[in-house]
Structures are given as structure tokens and as C-alpha cells.
């Protein structure tokens, strides 16, 4: 019996040590999870997804559009040379947008981590935010506002090819519909020259009747149309992400400013309490000296 008692005590100590270790690990995990800026994380994921959809689908859709125009609307290269150059410039811009917003979203996520930890330490009176830190938050807020306006313009611009392809899709659907009562399908045409996509003397420049129906059945048209829709959705998601970022940055800046004001008030209050305590001690010393 005496030999089993120390063994039981050692087992109890090992169990207690394991319990403390597991408790310490759980507390550490909870502390790490508490420092994650979930709002910034959600906005970053949405921004990555939106930019990826816009850039990837937009790039392929532009290539498909140029192929469709070359095969069916403008067989002479000089008639659509300007459009080919513009499409190439847009594709280079897409490369730049993808690279820039990948880096910018990472910077905003890092700013979210910094601000979240700074606010918690500020409220615990363990840390003081600097003017530089608040200025960085305000600077990111200004940049995000500008980029949100830019992407709103991009969203509106992306809606233009969606509208053009939608009209062409509806025209082909009306030709195939038995309820449309079209007596002369050959008279229904789509002329891309009126949109300024190709030169006015481009040949053929338009597609009518059965030729138009064949174009609508091509893989270039079908793929480009749906990719433009996805690119439009990606641009919209990016706008939402940037507005989300803007709200987060504005809230963080307000929290930092409020925390600084609270900290300054606490410093003044502590100093006043110390002055009152020192004054009370001096009065007590004077009273004791007078009694003696």
C-alpha cells in the first residue's frame, strides 16, 4: 500500500501538468484568434476573388471578342487594327490591376492586424499609438476611396460589352423563336460598325439572317458573352470589397482617435490624483510638525 501511494501522487502530478499545458495552449490559441481582423480578412478574400474573376475572365473575353470580329465582321487587318491595339492595351492594364491589387490587399490586411493589436493594447494602457500610425490609416482610407471610385468606373465600363453581347444574343433568340412572326430573317442584322468597333468601310461589317445565327452558335461568342458577365460580377465584388475596406479603415481610425483621447484623459486623471495625494501628504507633514 505504501508503494502505490507515491505512484498515484506522481500520476496525479503528471495529469495536472498536462492539464495546465493544454489550458496554456488553448489560451494561446484564443489569444491569437482574438487578434485576427476578421472584417479585413473577409474583405481581402472578397477582393482577391473579385479581382481574379475580373482579370482572368476579362482577358480571355477580350481575346475571344477580337477572334470573333476577325472571323466574321472584319477580315482585313487594317480595318480593326485600332481595336486590336486597344484590346492589347486593356490586357496589359489587366495584368497591372491584378498585380497591384494583390499587393494592396495584403497591405490592407497587414494594416488591419496592426490596428487591431494597437487598439487592444491601447485600451489596456500598455501601448500608445503614434501620430504616424493614425496618418497611415488615414492615408490608406484616402487611397481606398480613390480606388473604389476607379473600380466603379471599371464596373460601368465592363457593362458595355455585356450590353452589346446581350442585344446580339436577344436578336438571335428572336430569330429562333417560333412566336416572333419574323417573315424575313435575312433582314435582321447586327452591324458592329455603328458601335465604332471597326472601320466604317470594313467588310463585311455586319451579319444578317442565317450568318448571324451561326455567329451566335460559335464558341467564341458563347464563351466571350458569359465571361464578360463573370468579369462584370468580379468587378462588382471588388467594388463591394473596397467599400468594405473603406468602412473598416474609417472605423479603425475612429477607434484609434477615441483610444488616444481616452488614454490622454487617464493620464491627466492619474496626474491630478498624484498631485492631490502629494498635497495631502504635505499637509499631514505640516500638521505633525505643528503638533510636535
Query: How does pLDDT run across 1-12, given as a tens digit for each residue?
Result: 555 555 555 555
The mean per-residue pLDDT over the stretch 244-268 comes to 73
SS3 category, 125: coil
Per-residue pLDDT tens digits for 183-208: 677 778 888 888 887 877 777 878 88
Give the CA count within 13 Å in the CB-facing half-sphere of 119: 20
Binning pLDDT at 50, 70 and 90, where does residue 254 land?
A: confident
Tell me what pLDDT residue 94 has: 93
Of 233, 211, 240, the closest CA to residue 162 belongs to: 233
Give the model's pLDDT for residue 137: 83
Rounded Cα distance between 207 and 54, Å, is 29
Q: How confident is the model over 32-37, as a mean pLDDT?
A: 66
DSSP state of 182: -
> Between these two residues, 59 and 289, which has the higher pLDDT value?
59
* pTM for the whole structure: 0.76
Amino acid at each position: 500500500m505504501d508503494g502505490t501511494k507515491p505512484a498515484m501522487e506522481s500520476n496525479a502530478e503528471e495529469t495536472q501538468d498536462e492539464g495546465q499545458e493544454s489550458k496554456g495552449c488553448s489560451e494561446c490559441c484564443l489569444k491569437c484568434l482574438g487578434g485576427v481582423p476578421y472584417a479585413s480578412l473577409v474583405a481581402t478574400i472578397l477582393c482577391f476573388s473579385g479581382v481574379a474573376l475580373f482579370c482572368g475572365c476579362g482577358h480571355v473575353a477580350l481575346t475571344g471578342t477580337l477572334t470573333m470580329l476577325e472571323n466574321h465582321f472584319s477580315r482585313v487587318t487594317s480595318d480593326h487594327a485600332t481595336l486590336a491595339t486597344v484590346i492589347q492595351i486593356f490586357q496589359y492594364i489587366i495584368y497591372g490591376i491584378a498585380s497591384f491589387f494583390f499587393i494592396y490587399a495584403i497591405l490592407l490586411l497587414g494594416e488591419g492586424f496592426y490596428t487591431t493589436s494597437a487598439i487592444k493594447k491601447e485600451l489596456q494602457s500598455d501601448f500608445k499609438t503614434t501620430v504616424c500610425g493614425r496618418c497611415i490609416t488615414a492615408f490608406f482610407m484616402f487611397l481606398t476611396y480613390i480606388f473604389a471610385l476607379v473600380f466603379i468606373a471599371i464596373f460601368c465600363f465592363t457593362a458595355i460589352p455585356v450590353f452589346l453581347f446581350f442585344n446580339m444574343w436577344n436578336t438571335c433568340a428572336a430569330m429562333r423563336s417560333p412566336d416572333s412572326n419574323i417573315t424575313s430573317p435575312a433582314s435582321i442584322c447586327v452591324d458592329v460598325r455603328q458601335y465604332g468597333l471597326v472601320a466604317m468601310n470594313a467588310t463585311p461589317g455586319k451579319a444578317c439572317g442565317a450568318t448571324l445565327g451561326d455567329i451566335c452558335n460559335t464558341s467564341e461568342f458563347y464563351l466571350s458573352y458569359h465571361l464578360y458577365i463573370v468579369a462584370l460580377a468580379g468587378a462588382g465584388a471588388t467594388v463591394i470589397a473596397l467599400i468594405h475596406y473603406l468602412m473598416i479603415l474609417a472605423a479603425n481610425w475612429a477607434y484609434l482617435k477615441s483610444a488616444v483621447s481616452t488614454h490622454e484623459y487617464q493620464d491627466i486623471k492619474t496626474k491630478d490624483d498624484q498631485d492631490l495625494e502629494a498635497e495631502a501628504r504635505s499637509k499631514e507633514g505640516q500638521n505633525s510638525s505643528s503638533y510636535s
